[in-house]
Amino acid sequence: MSNSEQILSTAAEWHRDGRGVALATVVTTWGSSPRPVGSKLAVDDQGRMIGSVSGGCVEGAVVETALDIIRTGKPQLLEFGVSDEQAWDVGLACGGRVQIFVEKLS
Amino acid sequence: MKRALLERLLIAGRTGAAALATDLASGAQSLVTAGANEGELALGLQDLAQVRKALDDDQSRTIETATGPVFVEVWNPRLRLIVVGAVHIAQALIPLAQLAGYDVTLIDPRTAFGTLARFPDTALTNDWPNEAMPALKPDRRTAILTLTHDPKIDDPALEAALRSDAFYVGALGSRRTHAKRIERLREAGFEPDVIARIRGPVGLAIGAQTPAEIAISIMAEITAVLRRSLLASRA
């Protein structure tokens, strides 16, 4: 089973158990970035997570957005990079930029 | 994403090439497979051509469509490697291939070589290649490698490989061994341009000497061919 398969299977399982679940996927990268396009992170309504979209740099911010999206149901496209104040705060120190799509599993 | 679509994706991605297309503004999604486009995201012919290109390149990417950016997530079947010959090099190569994400099957009819003790964690068959190969149905996500040097075992595997869409066919053996092999395959009726698909002597020229080094050179060549690197060229 591939990494993505494992993350999506787990997300589906959480959802079947009645938990709120959001999925985050790296959709674009520029320059050096820690995780390739297609990398995934699943988050449940308690903030539990499986997978990774950045090797730790922006996960905190992504989880926060994911929890919002579990409530609102409205997908969001996030962008992090060194030129970005928020990214600096959350510490994307590798110098790259990433776009991460976050959606609710419904 | 709807859970039903997610579950369809998990099945489709295992059985054949599939792409999940997501409109990055609205979140609308469709699952694109060889024969169908299921879901709520409408894609034009030009968009579908870009989706196929992403599948061919085995590369997820964001494409521009008339209605905005759409993320195409590629779900190709798992890569496979069929190794013929449970020899020393196989012992070094199989773990490397597994690390690189390949499902490995090892074929060796010689039961003294092909034992589970020598190859734990490996799918192993003691069938002859002329029986084992058709059962495995090699496809364009399969690499095939012969390692025995024994024409009785290698040749039927290579013949099956040349009749398949395998993206990589390699055969261990010196230039002399390979020249003789080419001669036999010609006599068996294969055209020169078909025989030329076989990479022999196998592996990238990195001066490999030990079984582990040869395994690295072979795995590097398989990767170069898969990723269409310039190093894959044998001009």
Q: Are residues B123 and B189 in the same domain?
A: yes
- pLDDT of B15 strictly over 70: yes
Q: Are residues B92 and B199 in the same domain?
A: yes
Q: How would you classify residue A7: left for phi > 0, otherwise alpha for psi between -120 and 50, otherwise beta? A: alpha
- pLDDT of A89 strictly over 60: no
A88, A12 contact by CB (below 8 A): no
Q: What is the mean pLDDT of residues B32-51?
A: 90
B6 touches chain A (CB under 8 A): yes
The model's confidence at residue A86, banded by pLDDT at 50, 70 and 90, is low
CATH number of the domain encompassing residue B211: 3.40.50.720
- pLDDT of B207 strictly over 80: yes
Whether A8 sits inside 8 A of B101 (CB atoms) is no
A106 touches chain B (CB under 8 A): yes
Q: Are residues B119 and B176 in the same domain?
A: yes
B81 is written with which tokens? 């490697």
The model's confidence at residue B162, banded by pLDDT at 50, 70 and 90, is very high
- pLDDT of B92 strictly over 90: yes
Q: Are residues B66 and B125 in the same domain?
A: no
Q: Which of B75, B90, B105 is the last residue of a domain?
A: B75
B3 touches chain A (CB under 8 A): yes
Cα–Cα distances in Å, from B113 out to B84, B88, B130, B173, B198? 11, 10, 18, 18, 24
Q: What is the mean pLDDT of residues B144-157?
A: 96
Name the residue range of residue B26's domain.
3-75
Q: Are residues B200 and B84 in the same domain?
A: yes
Distance (Å) from the C-alpha of residue B235 to the closest C-alpha of chain A? 32
Whether A105 sits inside 8 A of B6 (CB atoms) is yes
SS3 state at A28: strand
Q: Residues of B with CB below 8 A from A104's CB?
A: 1
Whether A101 sits inside 8 A of B10 (CB atoms) is no
Strand partners, B72: B21, B61
Q: What is the pLDDT of residue B56?
A: 85
CA-based nearest residue to B95, from B86, B85, B104: B104
Q: Are residues B224 and B195 in the same domain?
A: yes
Q: What is the pLDDT of residue A94?
A: 55
What's the domain count of chain B? 2
Q: What is the mean pLDDT of chain B?
A: 93
B2 touches chain A (CB under 8 A): yes
Whether A38 sits inside 8 A of B26 (CB atoms) is no
Across the interface, of A2, A23, A37, the residue whose CB is closest to B60 is A37
Q: Name the helix (H) or strand (E) containing B22.
A: strand B18-23
Q: Are residues B23 and B106 in the same domain?
A: no
Q: Are residues B51 and B114 in the same domain?
A: no
Q: Are residues B100 and B64 in the same domain?
A: no
Q: Are residues B51 and B167 in the same domain?
A: no
- pLDDT of A92 strictly over 80: no
SS3 state at B45: helix
The model's confidence at residue A4, banded by pLDDT at 50, 70 and 90, is confident
In this prediction the ipTM stands at 0.85
Q: What is the pLDDT of residue A1?
A: 55
